[in-house]
Amino acid sequence: MPIGYYSSISLAKARDIAKELSARVALSHDVAGEKQERKAEALKKIEEEKHALRVSELAAEYFERQILTRWKYLDILCWTRRIFD
């Protein structure tokens, strides 16, 4: 289990962290299960970000539903669709 980079953590601090981790394993703490939970949370966050609605998508949807349906002049409507498509 990685603790950290040598430049970012002192040797004494790394030893303390290693002792703590060793004690947790000795007390039957499920290190692998904890790692799987972290991975599952990270994957869940990635999926949420994938399915999140972007501002550009929201603006395009609003434009299609609210603005394009109310325009009277067909030539402006066709011209605008060419620009946005």
Average pLDDT estimate for 32-56? 88
Look at residue 80 and give its three-state secondary structure: helix
Q: How far are the Cα atoms of 3, 10, 11, 45, 61 from residue 15, in angstroms, in the given order?
A: 10, 9, 6, 32, 55
Confidence class of residue 16 from pLDDT cuts 50, 70 and 90?
very high
Alpha carbon distance 71, 80 (integer Å)? 11
CA angle 53, 57, 61 (to 5 degrees): 115
Higher per-residue confidence, 6 vs 61? 61
CA distance 31 to 33: 5
pLDDT of residue 35: 87
pLDDT at position 42, please?
94
What pTM, to 2 d.p., does this model score? 0.43
